[in-house]
Amino acid sequence: MTKNEYLSRLGSELKKNHVADWEDIAGEYEQHFAFKLADGFSEEEIAAKLGSPETIAAQFASEKGEGGQGSGSRVFVTAAMSFVALFEGMAYLLFFAWAVAVSAFSLASAGIGAALIGNFNTAGLIPEMPYLSALIFGVCFLAFAVFLAAGSYYFFVYAKQIVKASIRWHRNVTSGNTLPPLPWNPQFSAKTGRRLRTVLLWSVTVFGTSFILGMVVSQLLAGALGFWHAWNWFVR
Amino acid sequence: MNTQYKKGVLELCVLSLLKRRDRYGYEISEYLSRHIDIADGTVYPILRKLKSDGLVDTYLQEESGGPPRKYYSLTQLGRNIYRNDKEEYLDFAKAIETLLEEDEDDQK
């Protein structure tokens, strides 16, 4: 086995055994090779004398288990963690419910926007107004729907990441495994993050401008500041 | 020799080497594999365990013409445990020696 073969096999065995800072350990073996090579040994000889990467990795894996918690405290930890999980679960459920509520709100806004632009008024739910106003307010509602949709996507990803991080944390605490902890905030690729920011920024901008434009146009068309009075919106 | 059995004794040997002076990992591995029949690679897991148990500390030291070396040194806890374990081991070894020699007397 050459030096590189040995080191890469050792690295992958250490990872397989969930040994923390395996890179540090591999570095130590790399130095061992360097010293031995300087003394005139061949890479094959050195690798053979070191012992197989599987055996070495197993020794590192068994070291971390020793001096750990006894079975008594493990039972206690598991019980305590289940108790924590109960409350965590409720909080996460609430978070998911919030994300669902935001997406429902987004769908409702999209519906109103479409009805305004399409100029159909089911059961007289939408107050009367000239089509120009309806068009501008329709755009306004659609932009709001896009904003909420992007928001709910963000919340869903956030909630999912929290649950994943929490599961990893629970596993590490109860089983004594030392997998690296996962981040608790949503992880977007740079591209997705940029897109999400662009969508949010544009939807807010379109929402704001079309809202103000709609108000002004409606006031001009009605010839009154309170155009809703002129159009008898709140009179039954 | 049984590896599990050897491992406990090897820890003691490493502590003994470090009691005399600070050494880097390769030095310890070389010394032990010259005197005891073990695979060269087994010393590093032991050093790591001693460190995680707080018996030894590490520090990096620059060497002329090479990468910095990781030196190991005994902590106060390591010193105390070594003194204790050494005594225990020597008593144990003496007892075993006496016991094993008795069967030679029986054969006579």
Distance CA A44, CA A167 (A): 43
B5 DSSP 8-state letter: H
- Two structure tokens written together for B57: 């500390």
| Crossing angle (nearest 10°) for helices B43-52 and A22-38 | 140
Closest CA to A140 of A73, A84, A214, A196: A214
Query: In angstroms, rounded to a whole number, what is the distance separating the alpha carbons of residues A151 and A145?
Result: 10
Torsions phi, psi for A223 (to 5 deg): 70, 25
Query: Tens digit of pLDDT for each residue in B4-62?
Result: 667 778 899 999 999 999 999 899 999 988 888 888 888 999 999 898 888 999 888 88
**Residue A136 pLDDT:** 94
Q: Given a cut of 50, is residue A68 above it in pLDDT?
A: no
Residue A64: what pLDDT?
A: 56
Structure tokens that stand for A14 in this block: 């250490």
> Which residue of chain A comes nearest to B68, CA vs CA?
A31
pTM of the shown model: 0.49
pLDDT digits (tens, 9 = 90+) for B57-86: 988 888 777 778 889 999 998 999 899 899
Convert the pLDDT of each residue in A20-38 to its tens digit. Answer: 778 888 888 998 998 899 8
Q: For residue A101, give Cα distances in angstroms to A34, A149, A152, A153, A156.
A: 61, 11, 8, 12, 11
- CA of B67 to nearest chain A CA: how many angstroms apart? 9
Closest in A28, A34, A55 to B44, CB measured? A28
Contact B63, A72 (CB under 8 A): no
Cβ count within 10 A of residue B58: 14
CATH number of this structure's domain B3-107: 1.10.10.10
Provide, as residue numbers in chain B, all residues whose Cβ is less than 8 Å from the Cβ of A64.
52
Percent of residues, chain A, with pLDDT higher than 70? 93
Q: What is the ipTM of this complex?
A: 0.81
Nearest CA in chain A to B3: A59
Q: What is the pLDDT of residue A189?
A: 83
Q: How close A69 gets to chain B, by Cα (Å)?
A: 14
pLDDT at A99: 95
Rounded-to-integer distance, Cα B47 and Cα B11, Å:
8
